[in-house]
Structure 1
Amino acid sequence: MTGYVALLRGINVGPTTRLPMQDLSRLLEGIGGSSVRTHLQSGNALFEHEQADPGKLAEALESAIAAAFDGRKVPCVVREAADLDRIVEGNPFDMAGVDPARFLVVFLSGPVEPDRIADLDPAGFAPDAFRPGEREIYVHCPDGVQKSRLSQALWERRLGLTATARNWNTVTRLAAMAAE
């Protein structure tokens, strides 16, 4: 069995997007997941599964959510839980003085293709800053995440991938949970 993390986008942010974590746990078990643990109410779950393809697990979870919630479309990114260590260790930013609530990792459903973001001028987003990783974008928003133009929508348009963001506190907590 391999450990995975499921990251759902846009749930529990309003009355029409409710998806209780108990339901998420049941849905993950319904697609063959075991040892399910959730973190916060924002669609973060760790689980084990025999499947070796995170993309297929994301598709299966999206389908299960749609079936259980009247066709609701909830984009999901699934990664091997061990990948969280690589993401934490690979952070290209010096975190000295950085508020972890204003530092995001945008998780992507596939690899970053550098040519698709080569024409983005970082100066045009200042004071926000970004650095691409393998299958993630690191984003620092010193004036707050809400004001940033470096949203998951930008990365989805640019890269043609599903994207969902988590702040650094959540990323490091999920990595610690995965190591437990």
Structure 2
Amino acid sequence: MSAYIALLRAVNVGGTGKLPMTDLKAMCEELGFKSVKTYIASGNVVFLSAKSEPQVKKALEKALEAYAGKPVGVLVRTAAEMTAVGSNNPFSEMPGNKTVAIFLDGPPAANALSTAKNQVSEELRLGTREIYAYYPDGQGTSKLQIPAAKTGTARNMNTVAKLAEMAAAL
């Protein structure tokens, strides 16, 4: 069995995509995932599964679409991958609540950062399957748009660390 972290896209953010974490936990258990734990109400779930990462993603997306009546994006990482995201943070000296990893399904294109719009004080770096962003003035007021991250989902580095810790403990 492998430890996985599933990150749901656009769940319980800004009043859209309402999904109680108790429902998400139950859904994961119905899919046969073990030791299921959710973290904060923004669509983070940690669990064990004998399935491969693509199988986990497909099963969870199918169940979420049946629940929500529309597609819900899911990004999946192993415990080791989530730990690496934290370890490879190029902005590790900056506050964790102002630095995010935007998780993607695959590696970002080499030109992913050059297509960003409205970049003022924000700093961006490419990761393995993520884009790192540092928002010195906070993410809430930023007008930054990253077209390459359109189908991704962001988590701040405090959340990344907690999810890695939870997955490692399974």
Unpaired segments ≥5 residues, structure 1: none
1:102 to 75, 98, 104: 98
Kindly indicate whether the alpha-carbon contact (under 8 Å) linking 2:124 and 2:134 is maintained by their aligned counterparts in 1: yes
Matches within 5 A, 1:39-58: 39-52=39-52, 54-58=53-57
Give the fraction of aligned pairs with identical amino acids, expressed as a percent: 39
RMSD of the alignment, in Å? 2.1
1:118-157 matched pairs, under 5 angstroms: 119-120=114-115, 125-151=119-145, 154-157=147-150
Give per-residue Cα distances to partners, 1:104-152, cap 9 Å, x unaligned. Answer: 11011111231x3263479x6231001001001110001111233445x
TM-score between both structures, scaled by the size of structure 1 = 0.84
Cα separation, 2, equivalents of 1:35 and 1:17: 25
Amino acid at match of 1:65: L
- The corresponding residue for 1:59 is 58
TM-score by length of 2: 0.89
Give the counterpart letter for 1:106 in structure 2: I
1:31 aligns with 2:31: yes
Structure having the larger proportion of residues in helix:
1
Matched position secondary structure for 2:5: strand
C-alpha separation between the residues in 1 aligned to 2:102 and 2:156?
Answer: 9
Q: Which aligned segments of 4 or more residues in structure 1 are displaced greater than 4 angstroms?
A: none
Structure 1 residues 154-169: aligned runs within 5 Å: 154-157=147-150, 162-169=151-158
Which runs of no fewer than 5 residues in structure 2 stay unpaired? none
